[in-house]
Amino acid sequence: MSKNLIELKNLTKRYNDMTAVDSINLTIKENEFVTLLGPSGCGKTTTLRMIGGFEDPDEGEIFFEGKLLNDVPAYKRNINTVFQRYALFTHMNVYENVAFGLRVKKVSNDEIDRRVKRMLKMVDLAGFEKRNVDSLSGGQQQRVAIARALVNEPKVLLLDEPLGALDLKLRKEMQIELLDMQRSVGITFIYVTHDQEEALTMSDTVVVMNKGVIQQIGTPEDIYNEPINRFVADFIGESNIIEGVMLEDYKVSFDGLVLDCVDKGFALNEPVDIVIRPEDIRIVVNPDEGMIKGTVTSVVFKGVHYEMIIESDKREYLVQRTVMFPEGSVVGMNVQPADIQVMKRGDVPCSKEEEEG
Partner 1 sequence: MQKAVKRIYMSIVFLFLYAPIIVLIVFSFNKSKSRGQWGGFTFDWYFDLFKDRQIREALYFTLLIAVISTLVSTIVGTIAALGISNMSKIGRTVVLNINNLPVLNPDIVTGVALMTLFISTRIELGFVTMLIAHIVFSIPYVILAVLPKIRQMNKHTAEAALDLGATPAYAMRKVIIPEIMPGIISGALIAFTLSIDDFVISFFTAGTSVTNLSILVYSMARRGVKPTINALSTLMFTTVLILMLIINKKTDKGEDIII
Positions touching partner 1 (CB under 8 A) are 52-54, 73-76, 79-81, 83-92, 100-101, 104-105, 148-149, 152
CB of 77 to partner 1, least distance (A): 8
The residue (of 100 and 266) whose beta carbon lies closer to partner 1 is: 100
In 140-179, at which residue ranges do the beta strands (DSSP E only) sit?
156-160
Instruction: Report the alpha-carbon distance of residue 307 to residue 284 in Å, rounded.
Output: 16
**Strand, coil or helix: 348:** coil
Q: 278 Cβ partners below 8 Å, 6+ apart?
A: 238, 239, 240, 307, 317, 318, 319, 320
Report the relative pairing of strands 188-193 and 156-160 from DSSP bridges.
parallel
CB of 83 to partner 1, least distance (A): 4
* Least Å from the CB of residue 293 to partner 1: 56
Query: How far is the CA of 208 from the CAs of 5, 42, 157, 217, 344, in angstroms?
Result: 20, 9, 19, 6, 17
| Choice between 35 and 81, CB closer to partner 1 | 81
CA 319 to chain centroid, in Å, comes to 24
Contact 317, 333 (CB under 8 A): yes
What is the distance of C-alpha 325 from the center of its chain?
34
Burial of 309 (0-12, 13-18, 19+ CB in 10 A): middle
SS3 state of residue 171? helix
Kindly state the smallest distance separating residue 75's Cβ from partner 1, in Å.
5
Q: How far is the CB of 18 from partner 1 (least distance, A)?
A: 15
Q: How far is the CB of 85 from partner 1 (least distance, A)?
A: 6
Shortest distance (Å) from residue 160 CB to partner 1:
8
CB closer to partner 1, 85 vs 251:
85
Count of other CB atoms within 10 angstroms of residue 103:
11
Q: Of the two residues 79 and 207, which places its CB atom closer to partner 1 in the complex?
A: 79
Residue 14 half-sphere exposure toward CB, CA atoms < 13 A: 12
Nearer to partner 1, 87 or 262 (CB): 87
Name the residue nearer to partner 1 (CB basis): 42 or 147: 147
Distance CA 209, CA 8 (A): 14
Kindly state the smallest distance separating residue 47's Cβ from partner 1, in Å. 16
Residue 96 vs 354, nearer CB to partner 1: 96
Q: Which is nearer to partner 1, 85 or 131 (CB)?
A: 85
Instruction: Give the shortest CB-112-to-partner 1 separation in angstroms.
Output: 13
CA distance from start to end of the chain = 43
Contact 43, 214 (CB under 8 A): no
Report the residue number, 87 or 284, with the smaller CB distance to partner 1.
Answer: 87
Burial of 163 (0-12, 13-18, 19+ CB in 10 A): buried
